[in-house]
Amino acid sequence: MAQAHEIDYRIVGEEMQYVEVELDPNETAIAEAGSFMLMDDGIQMETIFGDGSSNQGNSVLGKLFSAGKRLLVGESLFMTAYTNVGQGKKRVSFASPYPGKIIPLDLMRLGGTVICQKDAFLCAAKGVSVGIALQRKLGTGLFGGEGFIMEKLEGDGMAFVHAGGHVFERELLAGEILKIDTGCVVAYTKTIDFDIQFIGGIKNSIFGGEGLFFATLRGPGKVWMQTLPISRLASRILSYSRPGNRKEEGSILGGIGNLLDGDGF
């Protein structure tokens, strides 16, 4: 018997998406602070300690330990629960924090567990556990882009994660290997073997422009990937914001244009 609440949903939009969750009476969705967009009258908001799943345990110490683990993946100790306390179906919507796509994950159909990058979680049906996944391999932890700790979603309900740019998925057969930039990995099922591989060759390492390491994912299992990691977007914006580093793309003036508008060379 399913432990998580059974919620219906629809994802709206193209590049700035939001997910609309439909709740029957007494059904509840949980979400991170800051993801809420709008809701119908008759939905009650409540701040809860942790994720409200049975994995927290009933003791105060168990709840504290479970919620405390969320700090390690960049999440807060508290989440917000949205419960339909009215009559009939009610809707609540949650928005992605940056341009990209929202990925629906039916954990029951995905083996009960999905590992995803930190800060990827958006919302879920109550009963889904939001915890941590420690990387077993030293190389993965040091050079995986997300450190030793990633986010682990467990349960049998619906969960939603967000990613940057365009999102696509790939089903890997047993023994099939996919090599990908570490920051482009959004999520994968628990049957995937995730590791980090060094890019050989001194010229590749120094002049390749793609970093020294990439991720290798070995099947069987499913992988979700993004075309624009938020870290890459932030790095590019930061580089353009520095005085003298702005590139006048498509302009014959180049640095002269910077000088004329007061930015200098």
Helix (H, G, I), strand (E, B) or coil at 191: coil
Give the integer Cα–Cα distance in Å for 149 and 75.
12
**Confidence check: pLDDT of 225 > 90:** yes
Whether 1 is covered by a domain: the verdict is no
| CATH number of 133's domain | 3.60.160.10
What pLDDT shows up at residue 196?
79
Whether 133 is covered by a domain: the verdict is yes
pLDDT band, very low/low/confident/very high, at 141 (cuts 50, 70, 90)? very low
Give the lowest-confidence range in 3-12, 78-87, 164-173, 197-206: 197-206
Q: Model pTM?
A: 0.78
- Mean pLDDT for the stretch of residues 182-192: 92
Domain count, the chain: 1
* The total number of residues written for the chain in this structure: 265
Whether 263 is covered by a domain: the verdict is no
Whether 206 is covered by a domain: the verdict is yes
140: containing domain:
8-242
- Mean pLDDT for the stretch of residues 157-164: 94
Whether 229 is covered by a domain: the verdict is yes
Whether 152 is covered by a domain: the verdict is yes
What pLDDT shows up at residue 26?
95
Burial 46-71 (b: 16+ CB within 10 A, else e): eebebbbbebbeeeeeebeebbebbe
Residue 136: which of 174, 186, 190 has the closest Cα? 190
Q: What is the residue type of 112? A: G
Residue 231: which of 74, 41, 45 has the closest Cα? 74
Whether 252 is covered by a domain: the verdict is no
Whether 166 is covered by a domain: the verdict is yes
